[in-house]
């Protein structure tokens, strides 16, 4: 499952540069699928609709850093453990129960975002 950042976050910024998927954003900042990935053009999410990779999507938190769950792979494909959780000084990067995904799902997501 994707990770989430809780309200315990102290906005230190340590996690943001560690994310291999550029899934972590500053509070209030719009996020894009194309940031730090090879995604481009229209992305078809079936019944959920079509989103362009360069669309600026609404920040998920205006107070503390946030993780875009659609881009988080638990670092699968890059690292053996979630890097945000590893560096966070207050241990506020935790699994997000709203996004249950298997390791296979996460590996598929990683491959989708990073075409070599
Ligand atoms: Fe990024 Fe990894 Fe943290 Fe997910 S677990 S937000 S991919 S650093
Ligand atoms: Fe917040 Fe932890 Fe990231 Fe620092 S490392 S910005 S406290 S989530």
Residue pLDDT, tens place only, 59-92: 999 999 999 999 999 999 999 999 999 999 999 9
Q: What is the pLDDT of residue 42?
A: 98
Measure the CA–CA gap between 109 and 76, rounded to whole angstroms. Answer: 9
Which residue's CA is the nearest one to ligand 1's atom 1? 19
Ligand nearest to the CA of 5: 2
Mean pLDDT of 21-33: 98
The confidence score (pLDDT) of residue 69 equals: 97
Strands (E), the chain: 3-5, 24-25, 42-44, 50-52, 66-67, 93-95
- Tell me the sheet residues that pair with 94: 4
Please name the fold of domain 1-100. Answer: Alpha-Beta Plaits (3.30.70)
Rounded to two decimals, what is the model's pTM? 0.96
C-alpha of residue 100 to centroid of ligand 2, in Å:
22
């Amino acid at each position: 499952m994707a990770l989430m950042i809780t309200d315990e976050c102290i906005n230190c910024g340590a996690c943001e540069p560690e994310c291999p998927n550029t899934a972590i954003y500053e509070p209030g900042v719009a996020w894009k699928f194309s940031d730090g990935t090879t995604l481009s053009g229209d992305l078809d999410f079936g019944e959920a609709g079509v989103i362009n990779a360069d669309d600026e999507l609404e920040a998920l938190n205006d107070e503390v850093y946030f993780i875009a769950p659609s881009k988080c792979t638990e670092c699968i494909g890059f690292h053996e453990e979630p890097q945000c959780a590893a560096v966070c000084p207050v241990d506020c990067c935790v699994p997000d129960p709203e996004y249950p995904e298997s390791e296979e799902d996460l590996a598929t997501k990683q491959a989708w975002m990073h075409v070599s």
